[in-house]
């Protein structure tokens, strides 16, 4: 995953992200790299406000610090480190990590972090991105190793007695676990006087989010909150947010399907749940198969144009195409009827919303904001769909467990995010998630 910290105050981490720069150098002085903060031990942190929005494939982070210089005039140099945490498992044949510092930093920033911005007292603050090669051992509550590949370095002055507001925003991709390193605030003078952390699950089920310090957080309507006062954080206080073990998945290409209740062959992806790696083999506690072995009928389809079709059949395949409804307006009331090739238990449905092949197409066309879902002709229930363009993950929603064997599923458009250019509403992909009674006979992707 990714990680971002703020050298000024605290540190945010995931597989790769940015961190509270200055803190790492002090915590790991034996392995410190070339960057060293200047002047921050004279400045105190009056408050820290951290907002984390957990989307399906990324997180947006906004941090605001109120800093106060109780002493004489001082020049500050602080860093927001870009760091990486080695993956717990590397598939055989995976290329060796890049060692060149500049290349590693460029890759981390390009692939994992976008839109890093800093402001000071409401005005843009210039920063310099500098490479580093700092190896950190046994960091944080999980005792993980971490490498700092570079720093967003900032400079500014404090007059005697001056208070200044520093704000940082960025987007972090490929969310699965990340850590905010509060311990880095130990470099500043005194405790963090007041702090507030707000975590919002944006399109992710509440049950999928786990904290390493769950008792600190209180759920309030649509988000978690943690307020603190006179906080002097240690390594044990670093915040980790991750998917719980029973949500971790490992994907395989299908070569065969052998469920105890059926001998049918399905083409799809197996997902192993709640297990662990043992001698390079994943031992799962339970399995699902995500597949497109179904027939789908749409109430309408946009007519083919310039060799491109917008048929409902496109929903069954990973292509650059999509189903687009074909009636005037935004498509409210248009529907899809999905019939599994073999009636079976269906636990969830996975969706890639909108015309997702490109950002431009996604924004130009309408996306579904709400679906009315009817299983086997029963009374429909409503599902709200987040407005997020997905590429490697899907949005999943549960079907009622009481429905048993599923013969048909009707999805009716009940709400739309309007397109910027076209009054057409699209969906790119739909899969059925079917629980398995036992482990399938599969071979890992080679």
Over residues 6-54, the pLDDT tens digits come to: 333 433 333 334 433 334 444 443 344 566 778 888 999 999 999 999 8
Higher local confidence (pLDDT), 242 or 83: 242
Sign of the dihedral through C-alpha 130, 134, 138, 143: positive
Mean pLDDT of 289-297: 92
Q: Are 346 and 406 in contact (CB under 8 A)?
A: yes
Q: Is the sign of the CA dihedral 314, 320, 326, 330 positive or negative?
A: positive
Q: Which domains does the chain have, with CATH numbers?
A: 2-243 (2.60.40), 247-290 (no CATH), 291-434 (2.60.120.260)
pLDDT for the residue numbered 325: 97
Q: What angle do CA 403, 405, 410 make, to 5 degrees?
A: 65
For residue 67, the cross-strand partners are: 45, 164
Tell me which range, 75-79, 291-295, 393-397, 416-420, is most confidently predicted by mean pLDDT.
416-420
Write out pLDDT tens, residues 366-376: 999 999 999 99
For residue 176, the model assigns a pLDDT of: 62
What is the C-alpha to C-alpha distance for residues 152 and 215, in angstroms, rounded to an integer?
33
pTM of the shown model: 0.77
Residue 229: the pLDDT is: 96
Residue 349: both structure tokens together:
């449905």
Among 170-179, 338-347, 411-420, name the one with the lowest average pLDDT. 170-179
| pLDDT value at residue 57 | 85
Buried b or exposed e, range 418-433, using 16+ CB within 10 angstroms:
ebeebebbbbbbbbbb
- Please write the tens of the pLDDT for every residue from 315-330: 998 888 999 999 999 9
User: Token pair of 10, please?
Assistant: 């605290």
Take residue 151 and report the two structure tokens written for it. 């720093």
User: In sequence order, what are the residues at sequence separation of 6 or more whose Cβ sits closer than 8 angstroms to the Cβ of residue 212?
Assistant: 141, 142, 238, 239, 240, 241, 242
**CA separation (Å) from 83 to 2, 133, 148, 176, 202?**
7, 10, 4, 16, 25
Q: Is residue 118 within 8 Å of residue 164, measured between CB atoms?
A: no
Q: Of residues 101 and 405, which shows the higher confidence score? A: 405
- The Cα 162–Cα 158 span in angstroms is 6
User: How much is the pLDDT for 22?
Assistant: 37
Helix (H) or strand (E) holding 2: strand 2-4
- CB-count burial class (<10 Å; 0-12, 13-18, 19+) for 20: buried
1-15, 35-49, 274-288, 420-434: segment of lowest average pLDDT: 1-15
From the number of C-beta atoms within 10 Å of its C-beta (0-12, 13-18, 19+), residue 281 rates as exposed
Q: Taking the C-alpha atoms of 251, 255, 256 and 257 in order, what is their torsion angle to the nearest 10 degrees?
A: 20
Distance between CA 424 and CA 419 in Å, rounded? Answer: 7
CB of 217 closer than 8 Å to CB of 211: yes
């Amino acid at each position: 995953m990714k990680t971002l910290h703020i050298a000024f105050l605290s540190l945010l981490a995931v597989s790769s992200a940015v961190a509270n720069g200055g803190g790492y150098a002090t915590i790991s002085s034996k392995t410190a790299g070339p960057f060293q903060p200047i002047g921050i031990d004279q400045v105190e942190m009056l408050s820290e406000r951290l907002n984390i929005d957990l989307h399906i494939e990324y997180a947006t982070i906004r941090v605001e610090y109120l800093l106060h210089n109780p002493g004489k005039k001082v020049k500050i140099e602080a860093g927001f480190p870009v760091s990486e945490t080695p993956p717990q498992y590397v598939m055989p044949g995976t290329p060796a990590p890049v060692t060149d510092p500049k290349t590693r930093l460029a890759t981390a920033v390009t692939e994992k972090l976008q839109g890093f911005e800093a402001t000071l007292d409401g005005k843009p603050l210039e920063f310099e991105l500098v490479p580093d090669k700092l190896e950190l051992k046994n960091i944080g509550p999980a005792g993980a190793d971490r490498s700092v590949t570079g720093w967003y370095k900032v400079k500014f002055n404090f007059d005697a007695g001056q208070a200044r507001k520093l704000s940082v925003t960025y987007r972090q991709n490929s969310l699965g676990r990340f850590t905010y390193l509060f311990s880095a605030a130990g470099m500043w003078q005194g405790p963090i006087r007041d702090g507030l952390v707000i975590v919002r699950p944006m399109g992710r089920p509440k049950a999928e989010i786990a904290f390493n310090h769950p008792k600190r957080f209180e759920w309030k309507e649509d988000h978690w909150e943690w307020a603190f006062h006179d906080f002097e954080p240690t390594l044990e206080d670093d915040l980790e947010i991750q998917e719980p073990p029973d949500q971790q998945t490992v994907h395989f290409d299908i070569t065969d399907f052998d469920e105890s209740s059926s001998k049918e062959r399905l083409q799809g992806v197996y997902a192993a749940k709640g297990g662990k790696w043992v001698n390079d083999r994943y031992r799962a506690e339970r399995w699902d198969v995500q597949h497109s072995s179904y027939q789908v009928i749409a109430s309408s389809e946009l007519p083919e144009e310039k060799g491109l079709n917008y048929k409902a059949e496109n929903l069954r395949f990973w292509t650059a195409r999509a189903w687009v409804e074909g009636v005037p307006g935004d498509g409210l009331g248009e529907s899809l009827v999905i019939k599994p090739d073999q009636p079976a238990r269906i636990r969830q449905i996975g969706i890639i919303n909108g015309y997702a092949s490109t950002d431009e197409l996604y924004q130009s066309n309408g996306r579904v904001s709400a679906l009315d879902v009817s299983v086997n002709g029963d009374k429909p229930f409503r599902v709200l769909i987040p407005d997020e363009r997905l590429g490697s993950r899907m949005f999943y929603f549960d079907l009622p467990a009481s429905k048993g064997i599923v013969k048909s599923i009707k999805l009716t458009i009940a709400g739309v995010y309007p397109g910027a250019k076209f009054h057409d509403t699209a969906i790119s992909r739909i899969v059925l998630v079917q629980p398995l009674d036992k482990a399938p006979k599969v071979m890992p992707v080679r």
